């Protein structure tokens, strides 16, 4: 890549899974292309044995069958190579939230604490949808000028993702050229939000719930009167930061107050 300024490596990730449940479904294929600040690339690519049967609906999407993953490493067997490969990297991908949530769930199942907190994340899908909503195949056709052959295989998809981002940067001078700038472009954050998704927010110096049936109630009130709801959050499909806030609230700890305007 020549249009993105890197201060550390960025790892573009794509996974294929047994389904769309981010907490329960398993990875069957993963490909990571790591781009170093000097422009050199490294690839980590493998089929993964999920140790469960791959549903037909999933096979119809990516073409991977049970026979294809037989004898391949399980996620637990593959995990150390994965951590070593992406440990010092920012992360890129197409629809990264799904991939990273599934990865977090897989690591959790084997007792490994994995989080993207403190690293840059660039979702090329978000950049694309800001410019012209479509899917990866449409983005590839528009920005790269050719149809995407072999979509829904991990290496094809991750290579296409890199090519699309490179073309987006080349064709749109107003786009930021650094990871944090692209993240902010794709994820404009309300200054009252405590987490990136805005599930908790500041109101008059207090932390309040910012979604669902308890919207507007303070976190302190919930911790004293409805801790079961906080446990539901901890076990639900929420980011690691949201779960951390809920867990600390159960123990009587709350984010420090800030001034909002």
| C-beta of residue 222 within 8 angstroms of C-beta of residue 247 | no
At 213 the three-state DSSP class reads helix
Strand partners, 10: 35, 90
pLDDT at position 261:
41
Strands, DSSP E only, in the chain? 10-17, 27-35, 41-47, 90-93, 121-123, 200-203, 206-209
Least confident range from 36-40, 113-117, 201-205, 234-238: namely: 113-117
Is residue 247's pLDDT more than 50? yes
Q: Please give the Cα distance from 43 to 149 (Å, whole number).
A: 20
What residues does each domain of the chain span?
A: 10-186, 189-261
Give yes or no for a contact between 48 and 28, defined as CB atoms under 8 angstroms apart: yes
Q: Tell me how long the chain is.
A: 261
**Residue 99 pLDDT:** 92
Report the chain's C-alpha Rg in angstroms. Answer: 20
**Predicted local confidence at residue 212, as pLDDT:** 84
Look up the pTM and report it. Answer: 0.62
CA-based nearest residue to 195, from 259, 123, 244: 244
Within 10 A of 240 (CB to CB), how many other CB atoms are there? 17
Residue 64 has pLDDT above 80, yes or no: yes
The rounded distance, in Å, linking the Cα atoms of 131 and 172 is 9
111: left (phi over 0), alpha (psi -120 to 50) or beta: left
As a three-state string, the secondary structure of 164-192 is: HHHHHHHHCCCCCCCHHHHHHHHCCCCCC
CATH class of 10-186: alpha beta
Which pLDDT score is estimated for 258? 53
- Give which of 112, 60, 68 is closest to 240, Cα–Cα: 112
Report the pLDDT value the prediction gives residue 198, as an integer from 0 to 100.
86
Does the pLDDT at position 109 exceed 50? yes
Tell which wins on pLDDT, 60 or 71: 71
What is the tens place of the pLDDT at every residue in 155-168? 999 999 999 999 99
Quick one: average pLDDT of 53-74? 92
Average pLDDT, stretch 108-112?
92
Residue 129: predicted pLDDT = 83
Strand order through the sheet with 90-93: 41-47, 27-35, 10-17, 90-93, 121-123
pLDDT tens digit string along 2-25? 899 999 999 999 999 998 888 888
What would the pLDDT profile of 21-61 be if each residue is shown by its tens digit? 888 889 999 999 999 999 999 999 999 999 999 988 889 88
CA distance linking residue 86 with residue 117, whole number of Å: 14
Q: What is the structure's pLDDT at 260?
A: 42
CA–CA separation, 40 and 137 (whole Å)? 26
Distance (Å, whole) CA 219 – CA 209: 6
């Amino acid at each position: 890549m020549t249009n993105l300024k890197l201060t550390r490596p960025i790892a573009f990730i794509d996974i294929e899974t047994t389904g769309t449940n981010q907490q329960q479904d398993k990875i069957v294929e993963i490909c990571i292309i790591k781009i170093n600040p000097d422009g050199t690339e490294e690839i980590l690519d493998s089929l993964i044995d999920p140790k469960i049967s791959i549903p037909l609906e999933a096979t119809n999407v990516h073409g991977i069958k049970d026979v294809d993953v037989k004898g391949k490493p399980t996620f637990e067997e593959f995990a150390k190579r994965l951590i070593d490969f992406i440990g010092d990297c920012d992360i890129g991908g197409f629809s990264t939230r799904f991939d990273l949530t599934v990865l977090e769930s897989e690591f959790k199942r084997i007792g490994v604490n994995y989080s993207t907190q403190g690293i840059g994340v660039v979702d090329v899908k978000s950049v694309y949808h800001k410019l012209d909503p479509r899917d990866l195949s449409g983005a590839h056709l528009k920005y790269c000028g050719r149809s995407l052959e072999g979509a829904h295989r991990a290496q094809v998809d991750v290579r296409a993702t890199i090519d699309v981002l490179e073309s987006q940067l080349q064709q749109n001078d107003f786009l930021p050229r650094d990871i944090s700038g692209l993240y902010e472009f794709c994820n404009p954050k309300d200054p009252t939000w405590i987490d990136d998704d805005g599930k908790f927010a500041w109101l008059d110096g207090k932390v309040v719930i910012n979604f669902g049936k308890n919207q507007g109630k303070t976190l302190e009130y919930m911790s004293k009167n409805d801790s079961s709801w906080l446990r539901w959050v901890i076990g639900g499909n929420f980011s690691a930061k949201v779960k951390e806030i809920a867990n600390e609230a159960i123990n009587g700890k709350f984010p420090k107050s800030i001034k909002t305007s």
